[in-house]
Amino acid sequence: MKFEDILDEINGFGPFQMAMVVLLSAPRMVLPCHFLLNNFIAASPPHRCDIGTLGAGGLFENLTEEQRLTVSLPAREDGRGWKSCEMFAEPQFQLLANGSWGANPPTLRCQSGWVYDNSTFTSTLATEWDLVCDRKNLTQTTGSIFFLGVMLGAVVFGFLSDKYGRKNTLLASYITAIVFGFASAFADSYVVFAVLRFLTGFGLTGIGINSVVLSIEWVDTEHRVFIGVIGSLSWSAGNMLLAGFAFLVKDWRTLIMTVTAPLGFALLSWCWIPESARWLLANGKVEKAQFYLDKCAKFNKRPKASSNSKLQSLADIETLEKKDKNYTYLDLIKTPKMRRLTLLTGIVWYGVSSTYYGISLNITGFGLNIYLTHFVYAAIEVPAKLMIYFLLKVVGRRKCQAGTLLLTGVCIIINVLLPQGLWQVRAVVAIVGKGLSEASFTTVFLYTTELYPTVVRQNGLGYTNVLSRVGVSVAPLILLLEDVWTVLPQVIISSVAIISGLAALLLPETLNARLPETVDDIEKPRSAEEHATAGSGLLSLRGVSGCFPRTKDDIEHVAEKRRSKQGLCFLYVSFT
């Protein structure tokens, strides 16, 4: 007996599973609200030097506000207002008479702080701690610090999930994210805020990993794709909600509390979320597994699950298999073809992640306000997911992965070449590029899962996850290079997308192919005849990757269902 047999008995896709997906939707929607929060809380509104202290008396006393600004601040080259970071060393009263400087007068850095335009934001990190001019890089740095916490959290919570269970680790993630999320809204200095954002990212990763694992491990093979897509749409919904929250809440502290608040509901509903019966059986906790399986059967209006003795036998087999597994990350580079696979997938994951966030975190310059731009960027993800879902079954994984990355790079290049005046065209091209980057992100999870053999699949996903986080952390820093050359960030992001797309072309196609079980399957691919007789391997989830079949019995059990590739699932939500 296999666990899939038990799910068949109690209905592996019934009200119980749908209720669990609903309960996990709220915390999933919080993820993009925090991951892309920097677009709003770190925004730098228009600003100029504060000249309030110059109007205390003397010649300034009889001047209007406009005249004081004219003689105190150099105008921008485009004539739209005043320069943000400079002021005249001495008042230039001649400008009131002839409007000309004559010889370039000396300027100084702002001496008394800045005055900010609060029409869009009442308060941001930039206005709170004057993170402008020579300190403006610190606003983007907070994004990189947050994603470093996300990267560390992926490693730590992945381990804790396998050792202490999905449900308990999920609770720890909820508490960590809530405590540090709300605490960051009350930070009284930049350093404290950066540390708290790091810890918030650390906690949020555990929510992403464990919510996906729980959803997939309770669903039968046939419906895993559906559950995976539904889960990924939660990300898109949360992303669109962020634009609405930011539009209504203009203060950065209140906005952080607003996007963190839904985790309170998640914490209250945690007691209704079941532990993974697969994990319980794999760790010899038969009685607890029986409890949750019976609960699922009752909710789905099915007879109770198999007897305790059968579950005990299954648990013994699972435990034995677990003990026999001695593969490590080193197995990813021990053999030639595995090294090649590891290198190429690493490049692809870095490119996908860096490109997606490089676009998502750059929402200015298209003639639209940032709220509308962010909403449209989020909304385009929905048709992109649905489109790639069908194309993967027809075109194949490699062409979809390479094509979406290459076209994303092309869209960015087109926007670099288009003049700023054609903002409507540039906005459309940017939106198409954002949708393509989302499609590449959705594809990469499925494709990577099929590429790695069962014995190192979890290690492979862990490795690519780390490189993904590196790409995410670097993306905000790339955007800072616009000070060197305005279009340099776009040039870098497009180059990364194209290079990773070309790397994807070097990977093997996995559409309708048998899933590799061992490293030997990668090093010495089977003949077509052996593929046919072996049947199709099955995907499942353990930790981050799952309960993929390791024995001939596993494959034979669901060979027919597996032929249509319906056992594959997207783990999109925990990463995007």
Residues 469 and 358 sit within 8 Å (Cβ to Cβ): no
For residue 336 the two structure tokens come to 């030639």
**What is the pLDDT, as a whole number, of residue 367?**
60
| 174 vs 453, more confident | 174
Q: 389-418: per-residue pLDDT in tens?
A: 888 888 989 999 999 999 999 999 999 999
Averaged pLDDT, 7-26 = 88
Q: Which of 355, 354, 33 is nearest to 208 (CA)?
A: 33
Q: Which own/partner contact pairs does 100-108 have at CB distance under 8 Å and 24+ positions apart?
A: 105/74, 107/74
Architecture of the 332-525 domain: Up-down Bundle (1.20)
pLDDT tier at 322, thresholds 50, 70, 90: low
**What is the pLDDT, as a whole number, of residue 409?**
96
What is the spatial distance between Cα 397 and Cα 200, in angstroms, rounded to a whole number? 34
CATH 1.20.1250.20 residue ranges for the chain = 332-525
pLDDT tier at 103, thresholds 50, 70, 90: low
Residues 412 and 360 sit within 8 Å (Cβ to Cβ): no
Q: 164-201: per-residue pLDDT in tens?
A: 888 999 999 999 999 999 999 999 999 999 999 999 99
Residues 6 or more apart whose Cβ sits within 8 Å of residue 325: 455
The C-alpha angle with vertex 154 and arms to 440 and 389, in degrees rounded to 5, equals: 25
**What is the pLDDT, as a whole number, of residue 310?**
62
The rounded percent of the chain whose pLDDT value lies above 70 is: 83
Evaluate if residue 320 carries a pLDDT over 70.
no
| 148 vs 543, more confident | 148
**What is the pLDDT, as a whole number, of residue 112?**
87
**What is the pLDDT, as a whole number, of residue 59?**
66
Give the DSSP H or E segment for 116.
strand 114-116
Query: For residue 73, which phi and psi values (nearest 5 degrees)?
Result: -125, 135
pLDDT tier at 421, thresholds 50, 70, 90: confident
Q: Which of 21-35, 219-233, 341-355, 403-417 has the lowest mean pLDDT?
A: 219-233
**Helix runs in 361-422, H state only:** 370-379, 381-394, 397-417
Averaged pLDDT, 25-40 = 93
Bridge partners of residue 422, in order along the sequence: none
Averaged pLDDT, 43-66 = 79
What is the spatial distance between Cα 112 and Cα 370, in angstroms, rounded to a whole number? 29
Number of C-alpha atoms within 13 angstroms, CB side, residue 269? 16
What is the spatial distance between Cα 506 and Cα 509, in angstroms, rounded to a whole number? 9
Q: Which of 288-297, 310-319, 567-576 has the lowest mean pLDDT?
A: 567-576
Bridge partners of residue 541, in order along the sequence: 546
For residue 543 the two structure tokens come to 């930790």
Q: Would you list the DSSP string of 253-294? A: HHHHHHHHTHHHHHHHTGGGSPPPHHHHHHTT-HHHHHHHHH
Q: 470-502: per-residue pLDDT in tens?
A: 998 899 889 889 888 889 999 999 999 999 999
pLDDT tier at 362, thresholds 50, 70, 90: confident
The C-alpha angle with vertex 82 and arms to 76 and 87, in degrees rounded to 5, equals: 105
Evaluate if residue 575 carries a pLDDT over 50.
no
Residues 6 or more apart whose Cβ sits within 8 Å of residue 552: none
Evaluate if residue 252 carries a pLDDT over 90.
yes
The rounded percent of the chain whose pLDDT value lies above 90 is: 44
